[in-house]
């Protein structure tokens, strides 16, 4: 079973409108973290937003917010007031638990959603 | 502050040649990750280091791939011999072992686009 599922291969949104990119995850860990990254056509991976499993409030970073529904195991990214520069691939990722004594961890990525913003 | 630095940005080589990709993590970060991105397989973790020690290399596809981290500011990923199926974008990322939950965010370098002919 996939640990991170992004069901929307591609999305279109009108400039200045809001858009929601879906992400569901699968884990049995109690402590985990969820991340969203943006990859524009230039190729770099840009960190957008983080949500911890114990965070009671949804994370927000400027125009980005994360709609975290723990019981549903979903962590959808909401982009408000879309801009042309938001056109990119968006990846959801999960960090599960921590390797005891080793100090670090792995990220598992979804397959991504390609967002196109229409003028 | 400088982000993660990777070199070269583009590499074109012929099958059978040795390829070395380089990475300089963000200063102060103690975890380093090598990923490979292809259309078919998406983003895959190849190996990661913590405090210069390899922790998990189970994602390294085969013995042709090797990675080293001789010090906290430098890592290499080597492919010898290279094959056309190794063509991909290779990313290096770094993070700091967290005092709090946000500090473990992985920051990515610009990637190296490798083409093996």
Residue A98 has pLDDT above 70, yes or no: no
Closest by CA to B90, choosing from B9, B17, B13, is: B9
pLDDT given for residue A101 in this prediction: 44
- CB nearest B106 (choices: A43, A103, A107): A107
Q: Tokens representing B6?
A: 């990777």
DSSP string, A35-80: EEEEE-TT---EEEEEEETT-SS--EETTEEEEEETTTTEEEEEE-
Interstrand relation of B112-116 and B10-13 (parallel, antiparallel or unpaired): parallel
pLDDT given for residue A55 in this prediction: 87
Interstrand relation of A24-25 and A4-5 (parallel, antiparallel or unpaired): antiparallel
A35-70 per-position pLDDT tens digit: 999 999 999 999 999 998 888 899 999 999 999 999
- CB nearest B55 (choices: A47, A99, A110): A99
**pLDDT tier at A104 (50, 70, 90 boundaries)?**
low
Chain B contact residues (CB < 8 Å to A)? 30-31, 33, 42-43, 45, 48, 50-51, 55-56, 89, 91, 93, 95, 97, 101-102, 104-111, 113
Question: Considering only alpha carbons, which residue of chain A is nearest residue B99?
Answer: A103
Residue A100 has pLDDT above 50, yes or no: no
Tell if the CB–CB gap between B43 and A109 is shorter than 8 Å: yes
Question: Considering only alpha carbons, which residue of chain A is nearest residue B88?
Answer: A43
Residue A24 · residue A80 · CB < 8 Å:
no
DSSP string, A2-21: -SEE---SEEEEETTS-EEE
* Averaged pLDDT in 10-residue chunks for chain B of 117 residues: 92 97 94 94 92 90 94 96 96 79 80 97
Residue A102 has pLDDT above 80, yes or no: no
Q: Tokens representing A91?
A: 């990846």
């Amino acid at each position: 079973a996939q640990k991170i599922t992004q069901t929307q291969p591609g999305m279109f949104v009108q400039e200045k409108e809001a858009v929601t990119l879906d992400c569901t995850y699968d884990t049995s860990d109690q402590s985990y973290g969820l991340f969203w990254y943006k990859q524009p056509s230039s190729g770099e991976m840009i960190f957008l937003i983080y949500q911890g499993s114990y965070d009671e409030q949804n994370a927000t970073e400027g125009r980005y917010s994360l709609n975290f529904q723990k019981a549903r195991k979903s962590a959808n990214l909401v982009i408000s007031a879309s801009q042309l520069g938001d056109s990119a691939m968006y990846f959801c990722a999960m960090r599960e638990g921590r390797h005891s004594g080793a100090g670090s961890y792995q990220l598992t990525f979804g397959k991504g959603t390609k967002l196109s913003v229409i003028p | 502050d400088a982000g993660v630095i990777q070199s070269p940005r583009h590499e074109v080589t012929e099958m059978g040649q040795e390829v070395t990709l380089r990475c300089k993590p963000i200063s102060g970060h103690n975890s380093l990750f090598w990923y490979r991105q292809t259309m078919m397989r998406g983003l895959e973790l190849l190996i990661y280091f913590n405090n210069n020690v390899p922790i998990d290399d189970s994602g390294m596809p085969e013995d042709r791939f090797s990675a080293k981290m001789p010090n906290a500011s430098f890592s290499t990923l080597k492919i010898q011999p290279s094959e056309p199926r190794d063509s991909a974008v290779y990313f290096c990322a770094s993070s700091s072992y967290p005092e709090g939950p946000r500090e473990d965010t992985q920051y990515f370098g610009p990637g190296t686009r490798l083409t093996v002919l």
